Amino acid sequence: MSKLLYGIVFALAFILVSANIGYELIDAVSTWNLSNYIKIFKSFGKRIVQFDMFTVLLTGGIIGVLYVVLKWLYQLLFVPMNRVRLIEEVGYIREVDRMSKKDMANLVQKRKNMGKPPPVYPNGWFAVAESRDLKKGESKSYSILGLDLAVFRGADGRAHVIDAYCPHLGANFAIGGRVFDNCIECPFHGWRFSGDDGKCKKIPYSSKIPETARVKAYNTLELNGFIYVWYHAEGIEPTWQPPEIEEITKGQLVFGGRSEHYINAHIEEVPENGADISHLAQVHGPIMAAGVDLRDTYNRIWEFGKHEWAGEWKQLPEGHIGQLNLTHGLKLFGVHIPVLDMKVQANQIGPGIVYLTFESSIFGKGCYLQSLAPVEPMKQKIVHQVYMHWSVPMCIRKFFLLGEAIQIERDIMIWNNKKYESKPVLTGTMEDQMLAKHRRWYKQFYSENSPTLHQSKKDLSW
């Protein structure tokens, strides 16, 4: 890509600088005078050598501007968005100017009242990685759900997830380990373990393999662009699976980008937002241009525009799925704009997966895929991917993802600074009763041995 841009830019600059030579060549052609050709090319050579400083700077400026403009256009029109925000970059207010964002986030996290949250690692399927990040024959190290995991892709293209540490002397498989067929080799002594069952298949200096030479291999599922791992505190095998989205598999909906955020809160706080209809007007009513800082979103400057939401949350018959149905409208200067209406349906599939489909009056059907996983007891990683019809330009797909990211970052400002209220004061209204219903529904993902904050608490500073 860079070579192509450089080539285009230098070609355009060359044309601009040598424009006068072109006119002289045209004159020579019209007179069919060979001596004129020779004079022109000699003159051109002298000009190349004898550029004055102004011409050099002008040419360099033209090249620089053209490169920047072309690169920006290419990124806008063809490259999916990758918006990554670290935990210190969103949702904190700096109290002391000389304090860094990271120090401020760490201070708030340490002094924050966590409340009395439920267990920190619920049972279900969780995205450990994104498919595009793991090439065939590659291994990577991840930490989620209090587990250190080695994730690798075998020779047949299948993804495998095992405990990260070799039972021999504790080396991390994913840090320097090589992949052979569907096994991963320990970088320390070359022991090879199968990604299917975790058993040791080869020890280079021993013909006998101890029966205890094995690691835990996790149930793994790859679909819709994510690699999921099954977690259950009681060791129970998967009781359900997230469905495949055929429109994505068949290429009807295509990738438009991703966003990645980190949240300092209990995992249940995030899906609970889906049932919290009354927060939509307060947090997500101001238009996107108002930004993500809740201190500014209600500034009078932005009163000309307002998002309007109406919806309902319910549990589906499958049991492990909760569904939110929303309608969205936009008012500008008090006038409803019908072409910007949207219908939204979000399916919360277990504790860590959301499929959010939307129907736009202008751009048709699209889908957000959300993955949520605890990287620490009270620190969550949330990823959104957007897919829209292949005919929708990349810049529009990116705009939809940006809109979702802005709304999430407003929520993060709440989540990062709140405690988990185990006994909330609720009204008898439908809105608050949906919250109570959601909490009862979510309890199914905890079991007797689900780790609590006290049991799994580590050093939370970074």
C-alpha distances in angstroms, 29 versus 22, 47, 81, 397? 11, 21, 50, 51
* Rounded distance between C-alpha atoms, residue 439 and residue 426, angstroms: 12
**How much is the pLDDT for 45?**
53
Number of H helices, E strands in the chain: 11, 19
DSSP, res 210: -
* Rounded distance between C-alpha atoms, residue 403 and residue 352, angstroms: 21
Contact status, residue 47 vs residue 39, Cβ threshold 8 Å = no
**How much is the pLDDT for 96?**
73
Given CA atoms 447, 321, 324, 315 in this order, what sign does their dihedral have? negative
Contact status, residue 106 vs residue 95, Cβ threshold 8 Å = no
Tokens standing for residue 11 = 């070609």
Tokens 């999916």 map to which residue? 80
**How much is the pLDDT for 110?**
84
Contact status, residue 333 vs residue 349, Cβ threshold 8 Å = no
Q: Phi then psi for 343, rounded to 5 degrees?
A: -110, 135
* Rounded distance between C-alpha atoms, residue 1 and residue 6, angstroms: 9
User: What pTM did the predictor assign?
Assistant: 0.84
Q: Phi then psi for 455, rounded to 5 degrees?
A: -70, -35
**How much is the pLDDT for 112?**
86
* Rounded distance between C-alpha atoms, residue 177 and residue 189, angstroms: 10
**How much is the pLDDT for 21?**
47
Q: Give the chain's domains with CATH numbers.
A: 2-78 (no CATH), 82-114+246-446 (3.90.380.10), 124-231 (2.102.10.10)
Contact status, residue 151 vs residue 173, Cβ threshold 8 Å = no
**How much is the pLDDT for 326?**
95
What residue ranges of the chain have pLDDT lower than 50? 9, 12-13, 16-26, 28-30, 32, 37, 49, 458-462
Going by DSSP bridges, is the β-strand pair 81-85/253-263 parallel, antiparallel, or unpaired?
parallel
* Rounded distance between C-alpha atoms, residue 405 and residue 353, angstroms: 17
Question: Amino acid letter at 266?
Answer: H
Question: Amino acid letter at 454?
Answer: H
Contact status, residue 306 vs residue 330, Cβ threshold 8 Å = yes
